Structure 1
Amino acid sequence: MCGNNMSVPLLAEAVTVSGVEKETAAVTAFSLFSVRHGWADTLSGIQLPHVKFICPHAPSIPVTLNMKSMMPAWFDLVGLSPDSPEDESGIKKAAESIKAIIEHEAKNGIPPNRIILGGFSQGGALSLYTALTCQHQLAGVVALSCWLPLHKSFPLASSGNKNLPILQCHGEMDVMIPVQFGAMTSEKLKCLVNPHNITFKTYPGLPHSSCPQEMAAVKEFIEKHLPRI
């Protein structure tokens, strides 16, 4: 490795699941209140030999929704409805941290068009916002059980990546982030990127969680958009 991970703060503590072949692509994945190792374990089950998984750890911040208690989170959460006030500065700061990882990987041989951003809940939200505002065309986004942050700032905030492939998945019994929010997000995304590039899958009986069928869909998406070179 010819880069210095210490120059990118999120990479210093990230869990990386290396490919077993020459790495020609990367998936950077985030969880809500990121628990790095659990997410890394889940992803290792769907890994491709030429793909590296990078699982950064969210910093500890006071979260309003959790009575201002300190906990790992990518940005503050005031509420979980489409009209809740949002932590604009925190969202933008987190997105810049993710863009720094993209730049780092590019300098070390994996170009942005071979990088997928993905995540669950707040992590998926951050992935969507980062990819849509990134100056680079990425390989795609996996957005699980989430929403589009700062949705009212789009399409002005969008960098114009109309061909960005997006896989959205949502449990139909999600009470934390109801599936209707996912559907509203999907409709908004169709105004920002080519509607044919958006796949929205829902899973009956699934709460705010993942399932094997969802992970199979994620693997299929990664295989399609990060093929072996």
Structure 2
Amino acid sequence: MASSGNNNTNANDGKYTAAMIFLHGLGDTGQGWSDSIGAIIPPYCKLICPTAPSIPITLNGGMKMTSWFDLMALSADGPEDIEGIKKANSLVLKMIEEEEAKHSIPCNRILIGGFSQGGALALHTALRHPKSLAGVLAFSCWLPLHKEYPAALNQANKGVPIFQCHGDIDLIVPRIWGNKTADILRPLLTTYNFKVYPGLAHSSSNEEMKDAAAFIARCLPPK
């Protein structure tokens, strides 16, 4: 699994006080998002954009592509790759632990985010994490293993700020999936915001990125 950083290498002589882990969507790479996310984070924030392993995807007839876990159905209530989700979750946990242990960035200064499948994994990881994170930025995604909530929520992250975004004409991850996720999370969390963007498909927009930048700045203020 490779990773790609941002261009803020001179911030505080290379000593970052915060970090953001951003997870790409199906078939993409970390490099596909590193420039756009790198442009909206503060200079003291380290950016980590890992690339998922290449695995066979059931939904695509077994074709191999970069993916955090297998996708098995188009329905929000269809079968899910439970073991694959757990394995992917472990990868993200290792990244968080490495920032804490090797780079002295505390968990509450680490924000995780992602697009589509990556956003789903970001939500999954944060909601079950045993320590409070700085926040979650979730683009065009859904909540994996949603039937396990509210029991699956770790109370340490009940107050984690979550900003979930979705386009209203998304045909890949339909808006109804985002709505269903919001219906589950809104009553469970104290700092949760779900915003729908008119005219946006399975992509990002300037308005969404401006909102994301403001959210990151609130979650990761200067130390």
TM-score interval, normalised by the smaller of the two chains: over 0.9
- Give the equivalent residue in structure 1 for 2:166: 170
Which shows bigger deviation, 114-123 or 80-89? 80-89
Name which of 192, 204, 211 aligns with 2:188: 192
Take 1:80 and 1:93, find their aligned partners in 2: how far apart are those partners?
21
Take 1:162 and 1:45, find their aligned partners in 2: how far apart are those partners?
29
Take 2:88 and 2:32, find their aligned partners in 1: how far apart are those partners?
21
Q: Deviations over 1:42-96 (max 9, x none)?
A: 1122121111110000000000111101110000001232111000010011001
Q: Deviations over 1:92-114 (max 9, x none)?
A: 11001100110000012111100
Amino acid at match of 1:17: N
8 Å CA contact 1:125, 1:147 repeated in 2: yes
- Give the equivalent residue in structure 1 for 2:37: 43
TM superposition shift of 1:191: 3.2
Q: What is the correspondence of 1:131-170 to structure 2 with a 5 Å cutoff?
A: 131-160=126-155, 161-170=157-166
8 Å CA contact 2:24, 2:32 repeated in 1: no
1:93 aligns with 2:94: no
TM superposition shift of 1:178: 1.1
Take 1:32 and 1:227, find their aligned partners in 2: how far apart are those partners?
27
TM-score by length of 2: 0.94
Name which of 12, 21, 24 aligns with 2:11: 21
Aligned length: 216
Root mean square deviation of aligned Cα: 1.1
Take 1:26 and 1:81, find their aligned partners in 2: how far apart are those partners?
34
1:70 aligns with 2:64: yes
Take 2:74 and 2:35, find their aligned partners in 1: how far apart are those partners?
27
Q: What is the correspondence of 1:208-219 to structure 2 with a 5 Å cutoff?
A: 208-219=202-213
- Matched position secondary structure for 2:51: coil
Amino acid at match of 2:176: Q
TM superposition shift of 1:18: 4.8
Q: Which runs of 4+ in 1 moved over 6 A?
A: none
Q: Deviations over 1:11-55 (max 9, x none)?
A: xx1001153423100110011123221200111221211111100
Take 1:36 and 1:100, find their aligned partners in 2: how far apart are those partners?
17
Take 1:36 and 1:25, find their aligned partners in 2: how far apart are those partners?
19
TM superposition shift of 1:151: 0.4
8 Å CA contact 1:18, 1:52 repeated in 2: no
Which shows bigger deviation, 197-206 or 33-42? 33-42
Amino acid at match of 1:25: A
- Matched position secondary structure for 1:138: coil
Name which of 47, 57, 75 aligns with 1:81: 75
Amino acid at match of 2:56: P
1:226 aligns with 2:220: yes
Amino acid at match of 2:160: L
- Matched position secondary structure for 1:17: coil
Name which of 43, 48, 51 aligns with 1:54: 48
Which shows bigger deviation, 18-27 or 45-54? 18-27
Instruction: List alignment gaps of at least 5 residues for structure 1.
Output: 1-9
Amino acid at match of 1:32: G
Percent identity, aligned pairs only, is: 47
TM superposition shift of 1:206: 0.7
Take 1:200 and 1:157, find their aligned partners in 2: how far apart are those partners?
20
- Matched position secondary structure for 1:208: coil
